[in-house]
Amino acid sequence: MLKELLRSAALIVLSFLLIGTVHAQNSQALNAAGAAPEILNIVHQQLISGKEADYANLLGRIANEYSQRRIPVYWFGAQSFTGDSSAIYLNFFNSFADAQAVNDTLNSAMAANPDLLPIQEQLLTFTSRVTNSIAVRRNAISYRANTVDFSKARVLRVATILVRQGHEQEFEEAMKDLSAAYSRLNANAPWVTYQVNAGAPSTTFVIFLPMGSLKEMDDYVARSRGLRGAEGETVYSRLQAIARDAYISWDSELYIVSPSTSHVSGEFAAGNPSFWRPAAR
């Protein structure tokens, strides 16, 4: 089932860090539909240089087809602002049973709309690499994860950390220390951490920090001056040691959320209707 789900998700492209502030999110009521899910399908598309516009146009067409045909399978998409030309797509599930139900819905939709499959497969002609993983939410190594609202995000800061096997506990301790330091600062910058369950090494952790705008990155400069003091020198030194010994890699990128290449539910769009539904497609 999981293999089938990942393949189907890839075909339609269903598919920080620890900085920034989310004033735009917290100034409004949280939208339950935009809450950080328990299970996340994360799809990265590496785009072929010069094909970005073709890719976006085709994906927008696919999203439009899903809307017009009322296919209740949704994805959240964002385009790279830093790093190589790429895109990230997220599928939200409450459980693996929920993922199975969505996969069944998708298979039924493809059977009823066979003309969609070749259109979706064209997306792969604009990509040089696709990675697809399933990850599970880790509240204990997140910061105020229950206040994260993806529906209000316009920018995503995403950190991917590959931890050496046997060093997971050190990583978790470091994240808890960092979360405690943010709490002491009363930092208005919630993040949510996921641990990969399938599709990549199980010691891969992905951290998402949704932001209302790039302007909120400016807050990092001010906060970073106080963070070391909030951690304390002993904790700060230990975090540095853990980073040297426990991490194989730490990659941090910014993505601009793209309504035109996403397909979100009405409940999700209600969190920021002027952004997600500026006009009927």
Supply the pLDDT for residue 281: 46
**Per-residue pLDDT at 2 exceeds 50:** no
Nearby residues of 125 by Cβ (< 8 Å), 6 or more positions away: none
Helix (H) or strand (E) holding 206: strand 204-211
- Single-letter residue type at 188: N
240-264 tens-digit pLDDT: 777 788 889 989 999 999 999 999 9
Half-sphere exposure of 95 (CA within 13 A, CB side): 3
3-state class of 136 per DSSP? strand
Neighbours of 27 (CB within 10 A): 10
Q: Which residues pair with 163 in a beta bridge?
A: 247
DSSP 154: S
Enter the pTM of the model: 0.86
For residue 36, the 8-state DSSP code is P
Domains, the chain, ranges and CATH?
A: 2-276 (3.30.70.100)
Q: Evaluate whether 208 touches 16 at the Cβ level (below 8 Å).
A: yes
- Contact between 100 and 91 under an 8 Å Cβ cutoff? The reply is no
Calculate mean pLDDT across residues 130-150. Answer: 96
CA 147 – CA 6 distance, rounded (Å): 28
Query: pLDDT tens for residues 189-199?
Result: 899 999 999 99
- With a CB cutoff of 8 Å and minimum separation 6, the contacts of 201 are 162
How many Å apart are CA 261 and CA 268, to the nearest integer?
15
| Tens digits of residue pLDDT in 73-85 | 999 999 999 999 9
* Mean pLDDT, rounded, for 47-55: 95
